[in-house]
Amino acid sequence: RKLFTAGLLGTAILASTAQAEVRDIRIGVDVPYEPMEYRTPEGELTGFDIDLGNAMCAEIGIQCEWVVQAWDGIIPGLAARKYDAIMSSMTINDERREHVLFSEPYFTPPSAWFAPADLEMATPDESNLDGLTIGVQRGTLQDNYVTDLYGDVAEIKRYGTADDLVLDMDADRVDIGFLDYPVGKSTLLDSESGEYKVVGEQITEPKEYFGDGFGMAFRKRDQELADAFNQALATLKENGTYDEIFQRYFSE
């Protein structure tokens, strides 16, 4: 157990006389979601979220343990106290805000369409997606978006993990995938399994679907914990650690 004084948590809590305490925590994460969270060949968790999360925990002065959890149960697992936080490329949006408390965004990538290089399509829309199969990870904002916009014209294939989607793309069982851009880039564009390309523009709107960037999620009453991570994130951005971790996964 580590104690630290309210001063570290910033002026809001400084005003109170109580000492803020943030203790060792567990963080839920769905893998694989390369390059955000995945395993090395040796089975060790790695990725941008893992390194950034560990760096924030070190900055706060606590030990963090990662708990692997399937995406479709990741918010229920937080409520059930299987872990105390989620850091899993979770996009901050209003629907989720009803259930969890988000940190400040730590990364704001777009979504994008990915398809085999030989698919001829300028811009995915209702007419040229008609009759195709679209792959997404189940329960993601990408699932919500394609279901609402194209669910009537296309067949939506929903996968438990991003890797299962990639396997089906490699096997030609799905025509086009809709993914968080960095994940499609890493698992499709940069992979050796096949030739892939981005189709159309990168997508960030409407906010109702694409939200406000990736955030850590906490139980609603854990404002102090969220504050500690927000403060740590600000420090890591100031002192260059954030950039160093960013370069590790996103340098061209």
Instruction: Tell me which residues touch ligand ARG (CB under 6 A).
Output: 30, 33, 37, 71, 88-91, 137, 140-141, 162, 180
Q: How near is the Cβ of 126 to ligand ARG at its closest, in Å? A: 22
CB atoms within 10 A of CB 176: 22
Q: Which residues pair with 55 in a beta bridge?
A: none
Q: Where are the beta strands (DSSP E) in the chain?
A: 25-29, 38-39, 45-46, 64-68, 85-86, 101-102, 111-116, 133-137, 155-159, 176-180, 196-203, 217-218
d(CA 24, CA 26): 7
Q: How near is the Cβ of 37 to ligand ARG at its closest, in Å? A: 5
Kindly tell me which of 49 and 222 has the beta carbon lying closer to ligand ARG: 49
Tell how far CA 168 is from the center of its chain. 21
- Residue from 33, 45, 31 nearest 183 by CA: 33
Q: How near is the Cβ of 194 to ligand ARG at its closest, in Å? A: 21
Kindly tell me which of 46 and 89 has the beta carbon lying closer to ligand ARG: 89
Kindly tell me which of 57 and 90 has the beta carbon lying closer to ligand ARG: 90
Kindly tell me which of 33 and 83 has the beta carbon lying closer to ligand ARG: 33
Q: How near is the Cβ of 15 to ligand ARG at its closest, in Å? A: 34
